[in-house]
Amino acid sequence: MQRLSAAAKVFRPAHLAAAALSCALAFSPAAARAEFVNVLTGGTSGVYYPLGVAISKVIGEKVPGTRPSVQATKASVENLNLMQQGKGEVAFTLADSLADGAAGKEEAGFKAPLTKVRALGGIYPNYIQIVASKDSGIKTIADLKGKRLSVGAPKSGTELNARAILNAAGLKYEDLGKIEYLPFAESVELMKNRQLDATLQSAGLGVASIKDLANSVPIVVVEVPGTVIDKIGAPYLKTTIPAGTYEGQSADVATAAVPNFLVTRSDLKDDEVYAITKAIYENLPELAAAHSAAKSITLANAMKGSPVAFHPGAEKFFKEKGVTP
């Protein structure tokens, strides 16, 4: 019989069990969570996606041991539900969607209150941008009656914005000629082909889809009056789409804005979220280089107006920087 070496004699079953346990822990879900950082964004033609790519790159470069990835989604509502299910580490959302999720509003797409979602930080505002083809004759929100309008994917943050704006303006979906529930790029393609009269897109200024449309056909950027915004109330704010934002837009246009937030999960470790938050907010120029909308992101406004509590890891970073709610 072959003799065992001294090393083999020492490595007994008990040691094998300990080694197996060590390997199991190394590849456990908890360990994987600390490495993989999935960034939930939106459609590829919107603002969330290119910013998500920039955030993923910053995290990969500044947070050792992480393996960031970017996931295109239907944006706010889907992102929040995925986060609740533990399927993401960082996600983009509109403030009103976040408030609806915290309240568990079923009509907004939430079956129950979101208990695992925490704020990571405020970012830039979404502008409600209603754009019609010039040929449609649409000049005001009232002119949308009987027309064909795309309002974003069903129960997306954009679609929730559309419902709020139209309701405050005294219009229901039934008053329109046709409603399409389409992402930004698909909406624009239908408008180019004269199969749609207008699109409502909730996004940062200079969104690629509307730029593409404005460069292809004559457009009208439709005003959202202050009286409509007053009827909705917070978190909707009065703002302006500056002249020249899009080809053919010769004057400022009044509209509504809704703040955007980055969110994370309550079960992530404080030091992990601290490192991610630090990486994002200490590298804002890199985000601004990815999309002009990110130029509006400031550290000073990062804790303003969140409908949910901040993750302790993010809170620790902001406290160190002297930022308060």
Is 7's pLDDT higher than 50? no
Whether residue 237 sits in one domain with residue 164? yes
**Residue 54 pLDDT level (bands cut at 50, 70, 90):** very high
Question: Residues 301-307: what's their mean pLDDT?
Answer: 95
Place of tokens 């590298």: 283
Is 140's pLDDT higher than 80? yes
- What's residue 310's pLDDT? 98
**Residue 20 pLDDT level (bands cut at 50, 70, 90):** very low
Whether residue 198 sits in one domain with residue 51? no
pLDDT tens digit string along 201-229? 999 999 999 999 999 999 999 999 999 99
In a domain, 97, yes or no: yes
- Distance between CA atoms of 86 and 139, rounded to whole angstroms? 44
Which among 49, 52, 68 is positioned nearest to 60, based on CA atoms?
68
**Residue 8 pLDDT level (bands cut at 50, 70, 90):** very low
Last residue of a domain, one of 217, 236, 258: 258
Please tell me whether the peptide bond between 113 and the residue prior to it is cis, using omega within 30 degrees of 0: no
Whether residue 227 sits in one domain with residue 146? yes
List the CATH number of the domain containing 181.
3.40.190.10
In a domain, 22, yes or no: no
Is 4's pLDDT higher than 60? no
Question: Residues 190-195: what's their mean pLDDT?
Answer: 97
Last residue of a domain, one of 228, 243, 258: 258
In a domain, 16, yes or no: no
In a domain, 297, yes or no: yes
pLDDT tens digit string along 74-110? 999 999 999 999 999 999 999 999 999 999 999 999 9
- Distance between CA atoms of 146 and 113, rounded to whole angstroms? 36
Show the 3-state SS of the chain: CCCCCHHHHHCCHHHHHHHHHHHHHHCCHHHHHHHEEEEECCCCCCCHHHHHHHHHHHHHHHCCCCEEEEECCCCHHHHHHHHHCCCCCEEEEEHHHHHHHHHCCHHHCCCCCCCCEEEEEEEEEEEEEEEEEHHHCCCCHHHHCCCEEECCCCCCHHHHHHHHHHHHCCCCHHHCCEEECCCHHHHHHHHHCCCCCEEEEEECCCCHHHHHHHCCCCEEEECCCHHHHHHHCCCCEEEEECCCCCCCCCCCEEEEEEEEEEEEECCCCHHHHHHHHHHHHCCHHHHHHHCHHHHHCCCCCCCCCCCCCECHHHHHHHHHCCCCC
What is the average pLDDT value for the chain, to the nearest integer? Answer: 90
Whether residue 147 sits in one domain with residue 237? yes
Could you tell me which residue, 27 or 325, shows the higher pLDDT? Answer: 325
Which among 74, 53, 54, 43 is positioned nearest to 153, based on CA atoms?
74
- Distance between CA atoms of 286 and 297, rounded to whole angstroms? 11
Q: How far, rounded to the nearest angstrom, does the alpha carbon of residue 305 sit from its chain's CA centroid? A: 16
Is 1's pLDDT higher than 60? no
**Residue 125 pLDDT level (bands cut at 50, 70, 90):** very high
Query: Interior CA angle at 280 toward 278 and 282, to 5°?
Result: 60
- Distance between CA atoms of 62 and 67, rounded to whole angstroms? 11
Whether residue 307 sits in one domain with residue 288? yes
Place of tokens 């309008």: 149
- Distance between CA atoms of 272 and 189, rounded to whole angstroms? 41
- What's residue 19's pLDDT? 43
What domain range is 306 assigned to? 34-123+259-320
Whether residue 130 sits in one domain with residue 213? yes
In a domain, 23, yes or no: no
What CA–CA distances, in Å, run from 294 to 66, 115, 205, 206, 291? 23, 28, 10, 11, 6
Whether residue 109 sits in one domain with residue 141? no
Last residue of a domain, one of 258, 288, 307: 258
The tally of domains found in the chain comes to 2
Question: Residues 296-300: what's their mean pLDDT?
Answer: 96
In a domain, 46, yes or no: yes
Q: How far, rounded to the nearest angstrom, does the alpha carbon of residue 110 sit from its chain's CA centroid? A: 16
Whether residue 254 sits in one domain with residue 141? yes
pLDDT tens digit string along 165-178? 999 999 999 999 99
Whether residue 282 sits in one domain with residue 221? no
Six-digit token string for 17 = 């069990």
Sign of the alpha-carbon dihedral angle for 6, 12, 16, 19: negative
Is 118's pLDDT higher than 80? yes
In a domain, 286, yes or no: yes
Whether residue 303 sits in one domain with residue 231? no
In a domain, 96, yes or no: yes
Whether residue 274 sits in one domain with residue 217? no
Whether residue 175 sits in one domain with residue 280? no
Is 15's pLDDT higher than 90? no
Determine what percent of the chain is predicted with pLDDT higher than 90.
Answer: 85
